[in-house]
């Protein structure tokens, strides 16, 4: 069994969600700002919590009714089957944790924005490994 198949989500929750009353045309370019943070859990625990903050806004918009969305999600990973302390696990598997959690965020944003009756906001699939590898 590969190391990645032993990394599993045990809890996923949205802790903050704000969206304005927006009007957006189809195919409008959107800024996506993603800030991952690993929260300091008890070192004795086998749980690592990834906090993701996503901010969406229209690119170069002068429109006061333009899209603004802020989402904070926490995802708990069971790391009991992985070797090493939490810092080692985060250094080795952190990008994978972000890759695993991101589709939940995409789905949540699309579902909630579709409920409002306006055009739903659909974040494209992104290669998280490539994005964060380039930042290092």
* pLDDT band at 45; cut points 50, 70, 90: confident
- Asked if CATH classification 3.30.70.260 holds for the domain at 8-133, the reply, yes or no, is no
Model confidence band, residue 13 (pLDDT cutoffs 50, 70, 90) = very high
130 φ, ψ (degrees, to nearest 5): -70, -45
Quote the CA–CA distance of 82 and 4 in Å, as a whole number.
Answer: 9
User: How far is residue 76's CA from residue 8's CA, in Å, rounded to a whole number?
Assistant: 8
Instruction: Kindly list the domain boundaries of the chain, sorted by start residue.
Output: 8-133
Check residue 115 and give its pLDDT.
86
Among 58, 54, 59, smallest CA distance to 18 is for 54
At 56, is the pLDDT very low, low, confident or very high (cuts 50, 70, 90)?
confident
Is the pLDDT higher at 22 or at 1?
Answer: 22
Tens of pLDDT, residues 118-131: 778 888 888 888 88
pTM of the predicted protein model: 0.80
């Amino acid at each position: 069994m590969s190391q990645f198949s032993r990394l599993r989500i045990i809890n996923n929750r949205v802790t903050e969600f704000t969206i304005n009353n927006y009007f957006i045309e189809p195919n409008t370019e959107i800024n996506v700002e993603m800030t991952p943070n690993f929260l300091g859990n008890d070192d004795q625990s086998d749980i690592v919590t990834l906090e993701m903050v996503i901010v969406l806004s229209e690119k170069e918009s002068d429109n006061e009714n333009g899209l603004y969305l802020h989402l904070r999600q926490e995802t708990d990973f069971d790391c009991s089957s992985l070797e090493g302390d939490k810092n080692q696990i985060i250094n080795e598997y952190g990008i994978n944790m972000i890759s695993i959690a991101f589709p939940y965020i995409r789905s949540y944003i699309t579902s909630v924005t579709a409920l409002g009756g306006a055009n739903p906001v659909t974040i494209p699939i992104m290669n998280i490994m490539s994005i964060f590898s380039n930042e290092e």
